[in-house]
Amino acid sequence: MAYFGTNGVRGRFNELTPELAQRLAQQIGIYLKKSGAKGKSGKIILARDCRLTGEVLSSSVAAGLASVGCDVVDLGVASSPTAEFMIKKLGACGCVMITASHNPPEWNAIKVVDSNGVAVSRERGGEIEKTGIKLAPWDGIGKITRYELAGREHMDVIKSLVDVEGIRKRRPKIVLDCGNGTASVIAPGLFKELGCEIISLNAHLDGRFPGRPSEPSEANVKELLIAVRTMKADAGIAWDADGDRVIFVDEKGGYVIGDRVFALSVLWRLVSCKGDVVTTVATSKAVEDVAAKNGCKVRYTAIGAPALCEEMARKPAAIGGEEVGGVIWPQLSMAKDGLMTGAMLAQALCEKPLSAWLKDIPLYYNVKLKIEADAKGRKEIMSRVLAFAKKSKLDYITLDGVRVNMKDAWVIVRPSGTEDYVRVFAEARSEGDAKKLASEYEKVARG
């Protein structure tokens, strides 16, 4: 059976057991050492989020890696962007993170990132699972060392990339909702050092996530929306459990979805650095609009972090990101870095309020619907939609499903990889237009 999914190996504790973690770690270690750039050490970064199963799984992974001759640099509990930032910094041949990101606390996962900072896809995961295990000789076993400075070093580099002087002068008041996840390790310290006035919510590590579920959806961050309004703060920021994704809250207590967080980030980045924007085919047209306004273009990829960083590694880009509020700042690393995204917000607040920034981002509405279909049905639907796009001479992309671009709208029809349905997702400048577009393509899909 295949263990690697779209981004790592995920499971509950009775599925992702310590035994499995150790065996996979042996294969991962051999794979990373083999594929690591020449001249790199056999060093592998290891980090975990604060889930209750994290320490046991991390110990198994450390044992697995060392047993095949990899030196393990264990960061302990650290955010994913902190861990991924350390790959280049320490010249490691990769990084293994024990984190189930935004999933509920009983879940955990092993994520693998290579020496170039590129997350390992399902396909490369398949190669890892085929790797034969050969133990190191007794005197060739790797060392396992603790490294305590990663958070500090990550904070320092973020501080070097924003205008700390300016932020200190303006002193924006920001409410930080760390969701009891790994953002708790550095976010309060980072924003204090940046010169912000901060109020922290759920800012202690707790693998049960008692404060709120770790997905920073609007329903889950109600407390933050109220806090920003009642405390008259300039903004709010909420992270998921491993700190790579963020959402913002404007000074009126309005929730800013991930798509718009990414569009804002693109706007901020392109001011100082012109270049391509890389994003997935599920991202709002607002991003393309912002890029075009700055004379830059968007390169699309399939959905998921591995496809995104593979494309950024293939050809340079100014910025990359996903529709769910994960933004890659390549001047820092190839990780989605929610801490950096938050720091960029602090800097932007020195110029004008967040609600004013949001006026620069075109507003789109979207409608999602599902069509039930088995594997054969999904294939038929996709070929009908593709034939329609071809026949009608539409502007379409087939990287992941079929995305059709129109002047002020787009629609994607995409089969689920694991479940019995096809998704139709439409975006337009009004809710009515989005609904019309979705039902038009539902009809095309049903034939």
Binding site for Mg ion (CB under 5 A): 101, 240, 242, 244-245
**CB-nearest residue to Mg ion:** 101
The least distance separating Mg ion from the CB of residue 117, rounded to whole angstroms, comes to: 16
Give how far Cα 54 sits from Cα of 45, 108, 445, Å. Answer: 15, 7, 43
Catalytic residue from among 58, 67, 101, 265:
101
- Sheet of 94-98, strand order: 9-12, 107-114, 94-98, 43-48, 71-77, 144-146
What are the structure tokens assigned to 174, written together? 């920001």
CA distance 357 to 338: 19
Cα–Cα distance measured from residue 100 to residue 96, given in angstroms and rounded to the nearest whole number: 12
60 versus 103: smaller Cβ distance to Mg ion: 103
- Closer by beta carbon to Mg ion, 87 or else 167: 87
The tokens describing 92, both together, are 């490691």
- When the beta carbons of 109 and 228 are compared against Mg ion, the nearer one is 109
Rounded least distance, CB 305 to Mg ion, Å: 9
Smallest separation, CB 216 to Mg ion (Å): 10
Which of 314, 313, 320 has its CA nearest to residue 298?
Answer: 320
**3-state secondary structure (DSSP) of residue 299:** strand
117/115 Cα distance (integer angstroms): 5
Output the smallest distance, CB 244 to Mg ion, in A.
Answer: 4
User: Which residue, 79 or 347, has its beta carbon nearer to Mg ion?
Assistant: 79
Q: Between 241 and 382, whose beta carbon lies closer to Mg ion?
A: 241
The residue (of 151 and 325) whose beta carbon lies closer to Mg ion is: 325
> In whole angstroms, how close is the CB of 188 to Mg ion at the nearest point?
19
Minimum separation from the CB atom of position 26 to Mg ion (A): 26
Residue 429 CA to residue 347 CA, distance in Å, equals: 29
**Tokens, residue 8:** 């790592």
272 is catalytic: no
The span from the CA of 386 to the CA of 381, in Å, is: 9
The 3-state secondary structure of 85-150, one letter per residue = HHHHHCCCCEEEEECCCCCCCCEEEEEEEECCCCECCHHHHHHHHHCCCCCCCCCCCCCEEECCCH
Sign of CA dihedral 216, 78, 30, 114: positive
Question: Which residues on neighbouring strands pair with residue 428, listed in sequence order?
Answer: 365
Could you tell me how many helices (H) and strands (E) the chain has, helices first? 15, 20
Cβ 242 to Mg ion, closest distance in Å?
4
Return the number of the residue (97 or 437) whose C-beta is nearest Mg ion. 97
Active-site residue set: 101
